[in-house]
């Protein structure tokens, strides 16, 4: 049995740890609220873009078009190119299985496409992919901590250029989705080729199933050309929304992890306190028995 001094030292250590985990939980909770607000702030733009895109896609599908239009370049998978993977994780740890799950999802893609080009967002993902011989072409760690539309747009523009040139056959994204505070499932989505709303990975859900352009609106030069300009904007916003989603998932995972650590620490503290009190009581009882025994001699 440990001495009372050792138990008291452990109690002090656990209390210090509890202060850290409690503080980290509060910080993560505050960051989670901000991340959720950022996601909510993007909803009006998403809805407006959704209505415009839905109307143009419906108009394009209702008309006959020649093959090889600008829109077709975004909707067809390229043959002969490699897969481009955007893998998103965190810059730091202490967030449960958040990073491990994202890395496992990225590794599953690499198992299917060993020669894939990986664009790692987040220091933990970059380190894991570097060990797997798939280093990222640039350092995107800032986007994991502070998602920005300009940063997402720069990555998407580079990926779109590679896709249109035929260097990439398709572009996929792996990240952890914020379903709720207690659930952050790993999601694998296809960014390119873009196939419209039939793609389950599309982040844009139209308010109505049938949205058409008003009869008095003229699209110039034509719907396909307008779509070829609109789709890159949609893709940029899709990656930006994924970054916001992943950031919210990270803070939620860290909140839960720190809450769990705090609960476990409090349970250990109760056990140690009970053990300390029992040992102290036994020591006092032994001293009393010594005194009583000595007085009887």
Phi/psi at 191 (5° precision): -85, -45
pLDDT number for residue 6: 85
Exposure string for 160-193, b = 16+ CB within 10 A, e = fewer = bebbbeeebbbbbbbbbebeebeebebbebbbbb
- What average pLDDT score do residues 233-249 get? 92
The CB density around residue 280, as the number of other CB atoms within 10 Å, is: 13
- Give the model confidence (pLDDT) of 200-220 as tens digits: 334 444 444 445 566 667 777
- Asked if the model's pLDDT at residue 132 lies above 80, the reply is yes
Predicted structure pTM score? 0.83
Residue-range domain boundaries for the chain: 4-22+262-292, 25-256
- Give the three-state DSSP class for 146: coil
pLDDT number for residue 284: 78
pLDDT number for residue 283: 76
- Give the three-state DSSP class for 104: helix
Helices within 132-222 (DSSP H only): 141-145, 149-165
Strand ranges inside the chain, DSSP E:
82-88, 117-121, 168-176, 186-192
Helix, strand, coil fractions of the chain, as percent rounded to 5 = 65, 10, 25
pLDDT number for residue 66: 54
Residue of 107 and 68 predicted with greater confidence: 107
- Asked if the model's pLDDT at residue 153 lies above 90, the reply is yes
User: In the predicted model, what is the mean pLDDT of the chain?
Assistant: 84
- What average pLDDT score do residues 180-193 get? 90
- Asked if the model's pLDDT at residue 198 lies above 70, the reply is no
Q: Are 223 and 60 in contact (CB under 8 A)?
A: yes
Q: What is the dihedral of CA 27, 32, 37, 38, to 10 degrees?
A: 100
Q: Are strands 168-176 and 117-121 parallel, antiparallel or unpaired?
A: unpaired
- What average pLDDT score do residues 138-155 get? 92
In CATH, which of 3.90.1150.10, 1.10.3720.10, 3.40.1380.10, 3.40.720.10 is domain 25-256?
A: 3.40.1380.10
SS (H, E, C) 11-51: HHHHHHHHHHHHHHHHHHHHHHHHHHHHHHHCHHHHHHHHH
Going by pLDDT thresholds of 50, 70 and 90, the confidence category of residue 65 is low
Q: Judge if the upstream peptide bond of residue 234 is cis by omega within 30 degrees of 0.
A: no
pLDDT above 70 as % of the chain: 85
Least confident of 113-127, 240-254, 282-296: 282-296
In whole angstroms, give the CA distance from residue 260 to residue 188: 28
pLDDT number for residue 204: 45
Going by pLDDT thresholds of 50, 70 and 90, the confidence category of residue 46 is confident
- Give the model confidence (pLDDT) of 74-103 as tens digits: 777 777 789 999 999 999 888 889 999 999
């Amino acid at each position: 049995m440990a001495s009372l001094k050792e138990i008291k030292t452990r109690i002090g250590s656990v209390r210090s740890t509890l202060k850290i985990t409690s503080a980290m939980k509060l910080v993560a909770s505050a960051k989670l609220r901000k991340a959720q607000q950022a996601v909510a702030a993007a909803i009006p733009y998403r809805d407006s873009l959704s209505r415009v895109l839905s109307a143009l896609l419906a108009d394009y599908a209702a008309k006959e078009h020649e093959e090889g239009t600008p829109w077709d370049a975004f909707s067809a998978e390229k043959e002969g190119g490699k897969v481009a993977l955007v893998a998103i994780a965190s810059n730091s740890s202490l967030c449960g299985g958040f990073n491990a799950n994202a890395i496992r999802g990225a590794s599953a893609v690499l198992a299917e496409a060993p020669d894939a080009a990986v664009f790692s967002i987040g220091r933990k993902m970059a380190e894991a992919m570097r060990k797997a011989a798939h280093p990222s072409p640039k350092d995107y760690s800032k986007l994991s901590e502070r998602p920005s539309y300009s940063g997402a747009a720069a990555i998407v523009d580079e990926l779109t250029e590679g896709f249109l040139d035929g260097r990439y056959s398709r572009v996929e994204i792996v990240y952890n989705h914020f379903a709720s505070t207690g659930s952050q499932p790993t999601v694998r989505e296809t960014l390119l080729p873009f196939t419209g709303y039939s793609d389950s990975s599309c982040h844009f859900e139209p308010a109505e199933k049938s949205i058409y352009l008003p009869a008095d609106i003229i699209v110039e030069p034509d719907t396909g050309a307008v779509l070829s300009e609109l789709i890159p904007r949609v893709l940029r916003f899709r990656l930006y929304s994924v970054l916001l989603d992943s950031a919210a998932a990270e803070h939620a995972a860290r909140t839960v992890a720190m809450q769990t650590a705090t609960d476990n620490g409090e349970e250990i503290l109760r056990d140690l306190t009970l053990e300390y009190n029992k040992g102290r009581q036994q020591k006092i009882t032994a001293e009393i028995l010594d005194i009583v025994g000595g007085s009887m001699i």
